[in-house]
Structure 1
């Protein structure tokens, strides 16, 4: 069975990708993933806000920078380089020690000066870059949907100007029109879309009477949201699609591939079952393919999304009672 997949122009041995998380910040974990046969890994995200906050703290220490903007710009450049250097070093080390493609990740909310780091990430050896730009929720009533879409498109364009490696964009599900937003991102240069980012979800502890959250692990049923939208988007856009969130087993991998996903990103299941579970997923995927008579992943990718009878079901919102009798 041929499991090899082409994602963002990269040759992957299979459609399993470890998504960005603290798991991918550890070199031992990366080696384990590689040894157990995963297709690629996305590094833990570098946060633009962390870089910006560090810069601001340095500038706030001395009023001199208010009067000498040239010095302030130099401090920003030096501070930014210091913040990103360990991240670049991890990429360099990973590229020497693992055979799978390494995808860097940046959590970003503006098309600011940080985009110059994209070139440094490329120079460090990253095979691709994933931009997590799903951080724009309309908390203010004057921020409309098209403004958010424009900000995100500007980020992609700014990054693409700095680097020649492929760029994927990790989207959130909260758009007035997901199809329009996705098309704008691909028009801006995105080579792939990752659906969807799993947002932090605050909860309330009624004993402590305090805000908190411990639901950082995904559940299998969360996979259905990205399944719907990959099924809707994949026939309309020519970019690659990575399915993310709630993928815990080979069955869910198969479902996403049938809907048109190029790859599937896994994380929670690795926390729960360990890296030894990777070969089990791959072996079960091969078994299903053999049973159905598929020699390669490409043979069945997207066949549900391309079926014209499936499209209305992907778009259906309400349940329809099968036993309804019409007068």
Structure 2
């Protein structure tokens, strides 16, 4: 295999074992040749000899939200490219029931853990897995102590919310409301802060009465929008903290006889696949979801951006505004 791949036996071993110090091109070539030759490594024997494992665990809070399967796919593809397997776990809705997930993590030899946001407390996971590296995708609790020492990969949520605010204000909207995420989450606070930053810079206020909390699903977006519309019937613009809540908000507005975007403009966040197919197609802030997954695996297996201590700065990825049909200049829609 080494001769056919044009590399040394040691390089073949490192490529097949997912080790660092092998370029992506070389790793892909070795795996391609291995496939052509029908080579299948004896995983049990390899792990016994090397005292290592190629299983990465990933814990997500909600597999029904389309954002998370896309993130899982990014992590899975990155793991596959390194010869690693992915074990997917979903944290229970009730924190008291999280012990079973922690036991599954503690009972396995793992190459690392990708912990998504508030799926489980960071300190509980690190206690369960001991010295195994843990990478967090998005900080979880607003109490920063829950992720002290964590390697974190995240998108620039504050900047994304600023894009949403600048877009709505730039279209002439000043009577604005925000459908926020659950209280206590860093992403919720960052998106509220970013939205306020943008509006303050344009002389527009966003009092607390102009915010209503949801929990990132369509039904909560629907109810939050009904609440905000009852408080502020003259509103002309809405920023929702994710696309599912934005879709729920659009439905609530439609049920109330309010037309989007002619009467009210709506901006979401995430750019899930569904965002371009709802009517009107949703203006939203696009997160680089697949890249978040790839960078998380890189931090996990290569310690990119860190020295293994967990004290390295967060890996922060840029976001972008995608303008579609759910926003229009004030009183300027069709």
Smaller-chain TM-score range?
A: under 0.3
Structure with max Cα Rg: 2
| TM-score, structure 1 normalization | 0.28
| TM-score, structure 2 normalization | 0.27
